[in-house]
Amino acid sequence: MRNVNLTPFWRSSVGFDRLFDLLDENLRLEPEDNYPPYNIVRTGEDSYRISLALAGFSPDEIAVTTQQNLLTVAGRKTQDADEQQIVHRGISARPFERRFSLADHVEVKAASFENGLLQIDMVRELPEAKKARKIEIRAAGDKGRPPRMIEGNRVA
């Protein structure tokens, strides 16, 4: 088990509570099972896709839920009537629950299931109030003059 002390970061930073809670939680967890296997792919500047390999499952046996900044994918295989006739089971169909922490403003847009792959598309949409913007700076005697320009942007 790893022993990491986050106390120095807590003392010298403001507003990072959620990040430190997430780090602390992940450091305390036991190594998790790697089932089902998955990929996380960046599909654009602000878009992502999680692909989970769920061979043997059907869409009605899978639940995808989001709550606050947590995406949960769970699956429970329904019992087959012909289960007694299986001589060898090589395709795992055990129940699972996989959780993904989402950053602020990341929203799940769609989920699809095809050829044993569950695809979950997400996008980060920052509200206008959170986007970067230029602030005009005026000098003390510049009340009647037009704003100055730096690199093609109005400065003031």
pLDDT digits (tens, 9 = 90+) for 4-56: 777 777 667 777 777 777 777 766 665 567 889 999 999 999 999 999 999 88
Q: How confident is the model at residue 148 (pLDDT cuts 50, 70, 90)?
A: low
pLDDT digits (tens, 9 = 90+) for 97-131: 999 989 888 999 999 999 999 999 999 988 877 77
DSSP 48: E
- pLDDT at res. 32: 63
Q: Residue 145 CB: number of other CB atoms within 10 A?
A: 10
Q: How long, in residues, is the chain?
A: 156
- pLDDT at res. 59: 93
- pLDDT at res. 33: 73
Domain boundaries, the chain: 1-31, 34-125
Residue 156 has pLDDT above 60, yes or no: no
Helix, strand, coil shares, percent, the chain, to 5: 15, 35, 50
Instruction: Retrieve residue 12's tokens.
Output: 């010298």
- pLDDT at res. 66: 94
Instruction: Retrieve residue 26's tokens.
Output: 């992940």
Residue from 147, 125, 144 nearest 136 by CA: 147
pLDDT digits (tens, 9 = 90+) for 49-100: 999 999 889 999 999 999 988 899 999 988 765 556 778 878 877 899 999 9
CATH: 2.30.110.10, 1.25.10.10, 2.60.40.790, 2.60.40.10. Which one for 34-125?
2.60.40.790
Q: pTM for this structure?
A: 0.67
Q: Residue 108 CB: number of other CB atoms within 10 A?
A: 17
Instruction: Retrieve residue 7's tokens.
Output: 């106390």
Give the containing element (helix H, strand E) for 107: strand 106-114
